[in-house]
Amino acid sequence: MKTLNDFNFEDKKALIRVDFNVPLNDAFEVTDTTRIQAAKSTIIKVLEDGGSCVLMSHLGRPKGVEEKFSLKHIVAEVTKVLGVQVKFIEDCVGEKAEEAVANLASGEVLLLENLRFYEEEKKGDVAFAEKLAKLGDVYVNDAFGTAHRAHASTTIIAQFFSENKCFGNLLAREIESIDKVLNNSEKPVLAVLGGAKVSSKITVIENILDKVDHLIIGGGMTFTFVKAQGGTVGDSICEDDKMDLALEILKQAKAKNVQIHLPVDVIAADDFSNDANTQVIDVTKIPDGWQGLDAGPKSRENFDAVVNKCKTILWNGPLGVFEMESFSEGTIALGHSIDNATKNGTFSLVGGGDSVAAVKQFGFAEKVSYVSTGGGAMLEMLEGKALPGIEAILK
């Protein structure tokens, strides 16, 4: 795996695909700089070597050129985070961009305009990728969030750099962290899968059964498993058409010696609302008019015991409707359990979809070993898929 450390960037121009798809408010100010911070170490390494950086990214989902999606809005914030004045050019290919790159001196950083102003980017257009490739000596991919897309700047471009391409620090760490869970893990290994639906996690579950010793299934998925086994789930979210699949998963788990842990009790509510009436109830005996919206106290205790005996933990998906305070306790309790285990030497990786929002919201982001930056990309890796953006560098 080629990384930044395999290169000396002195007098070289690094063309870096970053993920600066950051949230902006109505005044076009960046409201969360996490993704810019995440790219910093790669950029600084190139500058410290005596090279220069040409940064390319997408922002939002523009239809053609749309001013509100211009990356010019983030120049000040990138400058602030990097501590280096960032230059900006209002195109990402063609004469203007090429001229700006030619005038770039060592130690300087240039940000190109939004790649998705060209529809060729998402189409993975080869001619467009070739134009982009003119803008640097070494191609560095540091955008995990788009590594599962075969876009021009994330994948197709790599073919124009033969040996001169590598992973940035962020992408390398993402790959290493997932590898540490899936392939080089210290046992016992635990996966906690929560979230809303079985259907969106089914491929992950199937792939992960070969990798883990314990699997905690929580969140809305719980009820499909409970009902399939004869329980009564009331008005809880449940995919009746996935019940056979749930039983098949339980069977497979048994055959593979994977212990499945489901909640035994839940916080049930008489309405999908923070102010609903609630009761703690056996997960298999939820009456009509009530829905399970969080893991109950006994479940939290059970999960804590499982977490405590595992040396590697992957967490994807909240255990309840954490967005509402009344149903956030199960997710918070799991965060505490994983925090404690991590302090005792367990490797913990959080990623995919809403779990990252949950760990950030409850202050666990700094307490786990690694928080992944790419939702969809992470899920695809957990599903066992090869990501085009990663394959293109390895080729």
Q: Could you give the residue numbers annotated as active site? A: 35, 197, 353, 376
**Residue 62 or residue 318: which is nearer to ligand AMP going by CB?**
318
Binding site for ligand AMP (CB under 6 A): 194-196, 200, 219-220, 237, 292-293, 317-318, 320-321, 323, 353-354
Complex with ligand AMP: residue 147 or 350, whichever CB lies closer = 350
Phi, psi of 124 (to 5 degrees): 70, 35
CA dihedral 15, 17, 22, 24 (to 10 degrees): 50
Buried b (16+ CB within 10 A) or exposed e, 327-345: bbbbbbbbbebbbebbeee
**Amino acid code (one letter) for 290:** W
**Cβ at position 364, least distance to ligand AMP in Å:** 15
Write down the least CB distance from residue 229 to ligand AMP, Å: 17
From the list 112, 127, 115, 118, the residue with the least C-alpha distance to 159 is: 127
| AA letter at 337 | S
Does residue 266 contact residue 296 with C-beta atoms inside 8 Å? yes
3-state class of 54 per DSSP?
A: strand
Q: Which is nearer to ligand AMP, 168 or 194 (CB)?
A: 194
CA atoms within 13 A on the CB side of 264: 8
**Sequential DSSP letters for 313-361:** EEEES-SS-TTSGGG-HHHHHHHHHHHHHHHTT-EEEE-STHHHHHHHH
**Which C-beta is closer to ligand AMP: that of 71 or that of 356?**
356
**Phi-psi category of residue 363: left, alpha or beta, with phi > 0 → left and psi -120 to 50 → alpha:** left
Distance CA 166, CA 161 (A): 10
**C-alpha distances out from residue 113 to 74, 97, 110, 154, 287, Å:** 11, 9, 10, 16, 56
**Least Å distance between CB 284 and ligand AMP?**
15
- Tracing tokens 């788009």 back to the chain, one arrives at 146
Query: Residue 213: which residues within 8 A CB-CB, separation 6 or more?
Result: 187, 188, 189, 190, 257, 258, 259, 310
Q: Which is nearer to ligand AMP, 231 or 292 (CB)?
A: 292
Quick one: 133 or 332, whose CB is closer to ligand AMP?
A: 332
Min separation Cβ 243 and ligand AMP, Å: 17
First to last CA, the chain: 10
Name the residue nearer to ligand AMP (CB basis): 16 or 267: 267
C-alpha span between 299 and 374 (Å, rounded): 29
Residue number with the shortest CB distance to ligand AMP?
195
- Judged by beta carbon, residue 152 or residue 190, the one nearer ligand AMP is 190
Min separation Cβ 135 and ligand AMP, Å = 36
Q: Residue 115 Cβ, how far from ligand AMP at the closest point, in Å?
A: 26
Q: Minimum distance from CB of 326 to ligand AMP (Å)?
A: 12
CB of 170 to ligand AMP, least distance (A): 22
d(CA 18, CA 168): 9
Q: Is the dihedral of CA 235, 237, 240, 244 positive or negative?
A: negative
